Chain A
Amino acid sequence: MLLALPLLLFTLVGYLAPIAFMLERSIDNSIPHGLLSRASAALADWDGGELPGEGAFVALVSDLHDAEAAGRTALLGKHLNYDQEGFRALLVKTVRAFPLDGSRSAKTALGSVDTRWLDIETWQVLERAARPYTLRNLLTVVDLKQLPGGDIAALPEKSRIHLEILARTILVSAAVCVLCALIGFPVALVLATVSDRTRNLLLILVLLPFWTPVLVRTTAWIVLLQNEGVINRLLMHFDLAETPLPLIFSRTGVLIAMTHVLLPYMIIPIYVAMKSVPENYIRASLSLGANPLVTLRRVYLPLISPGIRNGSMLVFVLALGYYITPALVGGPSDQMLSYLISFHTAQTLNWGLASALSLLLLVSMGLLFWVLTKALGPVKFQFEAAR
């Protein structure tokens, strides 16, 4: 019993903790909260109705002073810009005007640097940005934002991309799933029909690509699909196309490559289900007078439907989170949630948003899985085959 403890600890610390840590990060706001600690305290009882008192202005000035001394004005500005564009410029402008004239009140001094400091909306944004937790990222991933006054509104049109990318992710995954089912079905049917010898031979043709690393298969599709690639050269050689078709960095390319990568996950469960259908059932149905089509629809398909369901769900769920293939084969307008997560992790360094997007991906996966199993019946994944 104690033998499982090391792994229990390893998984808790090495896996569950980072996941929890990441989910917490989607609402974490500790950087601006820490840098605006005095202002945050001074604004604690502020009701947001009218401009805060002199105390808040003094607190802000000393926070900004410290931030500048620590070289963190840009960092603070970056975070405040997430809430309101232009805030970073305002901070930089303000800090440049330091030291402020000590003979005047902090309020008048800041107001003379920029009149926006006398605008109540600036303070409403600042007050929210100085809290230890924020809803900003969670709202952003569903294309919403909080207005300075506290109301929820849609993001400006140019940033309203997240739900569209979520829809695209679901659509592409569903399309891949349907393609896999259509292509996989006849393969499974033939595998379940032919002699053992032939089957082993055909199975090798399914398993070899399945065992090939995904990155290698994606590389092969890049070689095949690119403008000077094998397919385009062939098409042009036989005069089937005059100019190279845009296969790479296109939706077509993503669908082809993802279908190829995920197809074995569909074939194997359907084949397993087909193998377990006793031939007598079919014979019985036929001898009782049902014609083959009726038998197919009323007897055979219901018997193999668990296999189709398992395969489809597996392909769909795997496709939802797929990263490598769409990232390498797709164009900018084919990218899915997974790409956006990596983009905000490695490029914009907006980790809060990357975390919120991961949460969105996990929640959508969970909801879709739940709805589909409720609607279609239970699903069993065989993980050994599902790698």
Chain B
Amino acid sequence: MIMGLLFGRSRLVYFGIYAACGLALAFLILPLLVIIPLSFNQEPYFTFPIASYSLRWYEALAQSDQWHLAAVNSIIVALGSTALSTVLGTLAALGLARSGFPFRSFFQTMLVLPMVVPIIVTAVSLYFLYSRIGLTGSLTGLIIAHATVAVPFVVVTVGGALASFDFTLVRAGNSLGATPWRCFWKITFPLILPGIVSGMIFAFITSFDDVVIALFISNAPQWTLPRQMWSGLRENVDPTILAAAVLLTITTISLQLGLELIKRNRKWAA
């Protein structure tokens, strides 16, 4: 209503704002609207109208050993770094949630660093270190590097879940004779699970979408999907890349939708 109150008197301005918003939204969605149909184009051209549709580029993708390897690498690396960052991040969030943690603000600042330092600086510094200790050109190196960048998101989401967690429940469990281990699995874990799953999804996407770190610390046998796309983009853009882009997009968007569902469920529960 505020818009009506402020701009309602002048039709021109009022509709001008709606028109500007429409154009902006068209600008936002345009790239997606373009690459999805073009990935089904029978011809290898990037033009409209599309004369006939086919799955030819998706078939090319499925038959290519290179893309196959990239997909497998992507999944291994994303799962590995998700597991590593989820375990470390959840443990840390649990530790930080207790009051009286020493150097808490220092620790939190340190954790935020990977989020504010430009990814290129992170990637280059990891590359310098990894090349010295022999972690470049290995999936392990990529897993560790992605976990380093992803772990702050896990700490933030699990920390968020713990902020509304009632620790008296754990004390109740303890006083009734449950071991701390049992308390964790029976009380804390189920209640903060949405936070953990959100963190996992964040971590997975961080790894799955990354190209800059992979650019520096992986060689061709470890190339992930985005890295394989990058090298294709550098040479010439053929529609196979669009097919890969569409698959990548579908994966991340479904994961983000999952995240959104968890967020909403939590709101209802609260």
Q: Which residues of A contact B (CB under 8 A)?
A: 1-8, 10-11, 14-19, 21-22, 25, 183-184, 186-187, 189-190, 192-193, 202, 205-209, 211-224, 226, 228-230, 233-234, 260, 263-264, 274, 277, 279, 282-283, 286, 292, 295-296, 300, 317, 320-324, 328, 338, 341-342, 345-346, 351, 354-355, 358, 361-362, 365, 381, 383-384, 386-387
Contacts and interface: CB of A to CB of B under 8 A. Distances in A.
A322 B127 CA distance: 18
6 smallest CB-CB distances across A and B, nearest first, come from A321-B118, A4-B95, A220-B31, A3-B95, A7-B92, A186-B20
Given A190-B18, A213-B209, A361-B118, A223 B34 contact: yes
Contact of A1 (B4, B98, B120, B156): B98
Contacts of B147: 10, 14
A6 B2 contact: no
B211 interface: yes
Contact of B125 (A211, A323, A328, A358): A358
A22 B128 contact: yes
Contacts of A324: 211-212
B69 interface: no
A213 B6 contact: no
Contacts of B256: 207, 211
B2 A215 contact: no
B216 to A, nearest CB: 7
A17 B113 CA distance: 13
Query: SS class of chain A's interface: helix, strand, loop or mixed?
Result: helix
B178 interface: no
Contacts of B80: none
B148 interface: yes
Given A5-B95, A282-B5, A384 B156 contact: yes
Contact of A209 (B31, B100, B117): B31
Contacts of B248: 213, 215-216
Interface stretch (B51-59, B60-68, B166-174, B226-234): B226-234
Contact of B121 (A209, A222, A283, A361): A361
B242 A283 contact: no
B189 interface: no
Contact of A187 (B25, B144, B202, B249): B25
Contact of A193 (B1, B30, B91, B215): B1
B6 A292 contact: yes
27 contacts: A3-B95, A4-B92, A11-B148, A19-B125, A21-B129, A22-B129, A184-B24, A189-B17, A202-B25, A211-B256, A219-B242, A223-B34, A223-B38, A223-B237, A224-B34, A226-B237, A233-B48, A292-B6, A300-B2, A323-B120, A323-B212, A328-B233, A342-B124, A345-B127, A351-B128, A354-B124, A358-B124
Nearest to B20: A186
